[in-house]
Amino acid sequence: MTAITVEGPRAFTGRLRVPGDKSISHRALMLAALGRRPCTIRGLSDGDDVLRTRRAVEALGARVEVAANGEVVVAGGVRGARGPINLGNSGTGIRLLAGLVSGFDFTTTLDGDASVRQRPMDRIIDPLTAMGASVRGSGLNGARAPLAIEGRPLRGIEYRLPVASAQVKGAVLLAGLRAEGPTTVHEPAPTRTHTEEMLAAAGVRVEQGDRSVTVWPGEVDPPDADVPGDPSQAAFWAVGACAAPDSELVVEDVYLGPARTGFIDVLRRMGADIAWDAETGAIRARSSALTGTRVSTEEMPGCIDEVPVLAVAAAVAEGVTVFEGIGELRFKETDRAAAVAEMVVGLGAGCRIDADALAIAGVGPGGVSGRVTVDAHGDHRMAMAAAIAGAVGRVAMTVEGFEATATSYPGFARDLGRVTGRAP
């Protein structure tokens, strides 16, 4: 395990770009693999999760070439894999791919690392089975990876998501491409819309309703893609700049579409001086006096991945911040409700978890001090949130398991050095 120590407080200044959006990157590779013509993807995420998806589509039969300038050219083809496909740490990769292969006439085994093997897969097994695929999971109740998927002729279904999940919605919609008749997914709260938007851009018939989306089976012709920066990564820098002294920072070219900008709304309610420009995708954040707020269950899918770093903002704010509807946090790369509680308590904040809510009593900007050690628990977002906590407070923060950042942001430590003028 790699440990780093970050000492604060530091100012966050300058301009930067973050890696290409992870959700869009996975889908761009998968749709290109289904595509009839080669397509070029620029700005793909350089994290390990997306690398795994690239290898997965290659294993299924697509050809992927990476040019010296980082452009990726994919010649589609899905013909069947010889051995198991390992998606590493990526819940999005394994779940979306399960949907993609389930209508093809071959058997695929999908697996992941120890974290992915702990995560619930019944949420995709149930709808894909209802569509006619044979999906056998492992472990207790067969609800875990590895998954053995025997593709079959599928029928379109109308499916009500039991939990608000864009991964599950995406898996069902991708399966729907090869089903008989339309497939409709209803969601209990709005989730990110990348699958439906990218399918529509690829010429698939898609109808978006109020909290529902329908796809019709058809061929996929994805256009060349420029992947914008990942808002979930921009959130680390935005919180850093808002919570640290003497800071003003711009993150350029960020995706600012539906269900991805919730963290900006939350930070604004906390009193943050943060603005975004829909034209350019720039987010500008400045030092601010932060106060507590309430994040509702309805809002949660729109900022679910940002909770670890929003918890850092809450820990240095005045007053109490309550995150409601945190059930899904327990099923992320680690149990993030527990990991966040451990981190903020380490920072000296108060923390209480009730059935479905997490409350953080902030120490106020002057309050965080001393030596703190946080274990990332193998979770990239916990590692980065803890590093930001180290940079904004009067602390020496040791982050154990910092190597987890490679999952989504291999250049995080370099960028922390750039925007704060000091390497970790």
Alpha-carbon dihedral 190, 46, 254, 119, rounded to 10 degrees = 20
Name every residue whose Cβ is closer than 8 Å to that of residue 352 and which is 6 or more positions away in sequence: 358, 359
Q: Which of 18, 304, 340, 391 binds ligand S3P (CB under 6 A)?
A: 304
Q: How far apart are CA 260 and CA 254, in angstroms?
A: 10
Q: Which of 20, 23, 151, 329 binds ligand S3P (CB under 6 A)?
A: 23
Is 415 designated active site?
no
305 binds ligand S3P (CB under 6 A): yes
Give DSSP secondary structure letters for 153-189.
-EE--EEE-SS--HHHHHHHHHHHTTEES-EEEE-SS
Are residues 241 and 247 in contact, defined by beta-carbon separation less than 8 angstroms? yes
Site track for ligand S3P across 353-382, x = CB under 6 A? ------------------------------
Of the listed pieces 165-173, 283-291, 335-343, 398-406, which binds ligand S3P according to CB under 6 A? Answer: 165-173
Of the residues 49, 230, 253, 305, only one is catalytic, namely 305
Q: In the range 61-100, which residues lie near ligand S3P by CB under 6 A? A: 92
Closer CB to ligand S3P, 170 or 292, in the complex: 170
193 binds ligand S3P (CB under 6 A): no
Would you give the DSSP letter of residue 20? B
Site track for ligand S3P across 109-148, x = CB under 6 A? ----------------------------------------
Closer CB to ligand S3P, 108 or 232, in the complex: 232
Q: How far apart are CA 394 and CA 347, in angstroms?
A: 10
51 binds ligand S3P (CB under 6 A): no
The continuous run of DSSP H or E covering 130 comes out as: helix 122-130
For 209, phi then psi, to 5°, come to -110, -160
Cα of first residue to Cα of last residue in the chain, in angstroms, is 16
CB of 216 to ligand S3P, least distance (A): 21
245 CB neighbour count, 10 Å cutoff: 12
Of the listed pieces 159-167, 211-219, 234-242, 274-282, which binds ligand S3P according to CB under 6 A? Answer: 159-167
Closer CB to ligand S3P, 305 or 415, in the complex: 305
Q: Which of 53, 167, 183, 184 binds ligand S3P (CB under 6 A)?
A: 167
For residue 340, with 0-12 CB atoms within 10 Å meaning exposed, 13-18 middle and 19 or more buried, which class applies? buried
The catalytic residue positions are 305
Which residues are near ligand S3P by CB under 6 A? 23, 92, 165-167, 170, 192, 304-305, 328
